Structure formats: C-alpha cells, structure tokens
Amino acid sequence: MSHPVLKPGTDPGLSRVSALRFAVKVSTSPIVEDAMTLPRRLAMLFIAALCGAAPAAAQYPSKPVRIVLQFPAGGSTDAAARILGQALSQSMGQPVIVENRPGADGAIAAESVVKAAPDGYTVFLASNTPMMQVPLLRKAPPYDPLTDFTPISDVGRYIFILVVNPALPVKSVAELIAHARANPGRLNFGSFSGVGQLVFAQMRASTNADMLLIPYKGEAPTIVDVIAGRTHMTFATPASTLAHIKEGKLRPLAIASSKRSVTFPDLPTVSEEIKGFDFSGWFMLLAPTGTPDEIVNRLSRDVGEAMGDERIREMAPKLGFEIETGSPDAARQFLAGQLDLWKGITTELGLKPQ
C-alpha cells in the first residue's frame, strides 16, 4: 500500500486542514507506525499544522477592506470617510470601500460589524452615539462596546457649535439661558443624534431652563428648520453651519467643547457659562472582537499614515475636525473612559434605559 508524500514547495496553497489530515494519515499508517516514535509523530503533526498555510495576518490585506459608516452618503462625515478610505487604500495596496448603513442611532452599522468575520476586512468608523447612547439607554443593547469590538485607532475629534435662529433675541449663552427661563416651555432644541439628546438633557438640568427637545433624523433637516425658525437652536458641525453663518441665516453662540477651538478662536465655550459642560464628537476605527493583533496593529499604523495625508490635513480645519490617532491600547482606554463619563452623566440626570 502506497501513501502520499508531501514534497516541500510542491503545493504552496495547501490548507492547514488538509495538512493536518495528511499528517494524521501518515502518522497512523500501519507501515509507518512501527518505525516512528511518539515524539516524532507529534513533531510531524505540529509541522504539518504550520506548513501549507502562513498566518492570515502575514497576507493581509489580500482583498478590499470595507469601512462601515453609520451616516448616509453625501454628508460631511461621509466625505471625510471616503477621503480616509482613499488614503488608506494607498498605504494598504487594496481598495478601501465606504459602506453607508444609517439608522437606529448607528446600531445597524455597529451590529453589521459585530457579526462580520474578525479578519480585518470589515471595520467600523464609529462615533459617540452608537458607542455611548445605544448601550447606555437601551434596555437590551445589541452589543457591548468593550467586549464586542477591538479598538484599532482614534481618528480625531470634531467640534459642535451652538447656533440659533437670528430672530431669537440672544447673542450669548447667558442671554439664551435668561431668555429660556423667562419663556418656559416656549424654546425648542433640535437634536439629530442620541448623544445630542443626552447633551440637551445635561444643558437643561444645569440651567434649570424649561426647553423642549425635537428629535430629527439628520443634521441637514435640523439646520433647515433652525434657519426657517421652526426650531430655535441646535448643536451642529462647522461643515453644516459655516456657509449659513456667513450669510446671516444662523447665529453662532459658543463652542460645545470645553476648550476654545483653534479654528474659531473668537467663539467662547458653553462651559464658560455652564461649568463642566463638554460636548465634542469623536471618531474611532473598530474591528470585530477576535481580530488578530497583527492585523489590528497593521491597521493602526495605516490609519496614522493615512491621517497624515495632505488632503486630510487641509480639509480637517474647515470641518472643525482635529486629527488625533494613536495605538489600539490608547483607543481602548479612551473608549472605556467615555463609557464611564456618560454612565455618570446619565445617572446624574436620572435617565433610564428605554
């Protein structure tokens, strides 16, 4: 009876499974059994498991990579994601495709990544809402930000501007608070994200001002209604507001983050009037949990290189976006810190999961 012989180099595509089957067949053959000691048989099994298939990470990437985005196509975030994808494709040597999966406060996009194979070919460009609001304010969250994802790298922070309809007789946060207190229940605030609703709750509780919340499905329709006067105010990104501010259709009052913006140095912060107020958006690249460390580290390096691209550096200030990248460990610590922060805020405000 003849048995197959594995010749080195003759089958570079041999899978790990087929290599193991071959080794088991040879090592258990009655002809070979008598001539082979147990240690040698175990050694052959180990070598066969390693041959025929180099680790997948060593070949990564060998096909296009998908960046899943929670926002619809056409917005400023989508444009930034596509520029990032183009820069990443240059450093990775493979196409990087942006896949828009909006809805459910980003949970649809997030779940699709959680269910994807942990091989580095599907990643999530996540922001505050799906990582904070969804897990904190749903009775049965569809995922856990810390256990169902592997952080790859921070991408950056973006600022929000508190803007009001120009017909509103206020020119500062202090005047807005005074006006709201003098007109209880008559001012309304437009929010297009779950985290925006949390921020509104924080602002209302901190000022004791009776204002109403109007939820929207996106930033664009929120801005349209503020300009039309159907909604009095909102926190919005510079990309969506600057042109309207220049035309006098919107009035900026303050920056939502705790520090003044380099891009808008003349605008005060909300925290200068409401102590402790700090609202800034962030983006982070995440992979499904179980993604090999080699692939995660490779992606992290590529993100750092891509965000150094001249086009992104030029575009970022115009969007009120501050580039910030780092290691997977740094991203993990930031994500955990954000969860702790917003858990405290939701508890303080008495917000319950729905």
The sheet with strand 321-323 has its strands ordered as 96-100, 65-69, 122-126, 281-288, 149-158, 321-323
Residues 6+ apart with CB under 8 A from 107: 130, 134, 142, 143
Residue type for position 136: L
176-192: pLDDT as tens digits: 999 999 999 999 999 98
Which residue is listed with tokens 């091989």? Answer: 119
- What is the pLDDT at residue 56? 56
Residue type for position 96: V
Q: Where are the beta strands (DSSP E) in 184-320?
A: 187-191, 211-215, 233-236, 251-255, 281-288
- What is the pLDDT at residue 295? 97
Residue 14 — pLDDT band, cuts 50, 70, 90? very low
Helix or strand or coil: residue 301?
Answer: helix
* CA–CA separation, 307 and 324 (whole Å): 8
- What is the pLDDT at residue 76? 66
Q: Are 160 and 280 in contact (CB under 8 A)?
A: yes
Mean pLDDT for the chain overall: 83
* CA–CA separation, 264 and 241 (whole Å): 13
Q: Are 183 and 245 in contact (CB under 8 A)?
A: no
Q: Are 91 and 61 in contact (CB under 8 A)?
A: no
Mean pLDDT of 98-113: 94
- Residue 106 per-residue DSSP state: G
DSSP secondary structure, 51-94, as one string: TT---GGGG--SS-EEEEESSPTTSHHHHHHHHHHHHHHHHHTS
Reference 331, options 209, 149, 191; nearest CA is 149
pTM of the model: 0.72
DSSP secondary structure, 3-14, as one string: -----TTS-TT-
- What is the pLDDT at residue 57? 63
CA 319 to chain centre: 17
Q: Where are the beta strands (DSSP E) in 101-202?
A: 122-126, 149-158, 161-164, 187-191
Residue type for position 317: P
234-274: pLDDT as tens digits: 999 888 899 999 999 999 999 998 888 877 889 999 999 99
Q: Are 280 and 159 in contact (CB under 8 A)?
A: yes
Q: What percentage of the chain reaches a pLDDT higher than 70?
A: 83
20-64: pLDDT as tens digits: 343 334 344 444 444 445 444 444 444 444 344 445 566 899 999
* CA–CA separation, 92 and 82 (whole Å): 15
- Rounded to the nearest 5°, which phi and psi values hold at 203? -65, -40
Mean pLDDT of 300-318: 85
189-242: pLDDT as tens digits: 999 877 788 888 888 888 999 999 999 878 889 999 999 999 999 999 888 899
123-161: pLDDT as tens digits: 999 988 899 989 998 999 999 999 999 999 999 888 899
Q: What percentage of the chain reaches a pLDDT higher than 90?
A: 50
The strand pair at 251-255 and 96-100 is best described as unpaired
Lowest mean pLDDT among 54-63, 191-200, 329-338, 342-351: 54-63
- What is the pLDDT at residue 43? 43
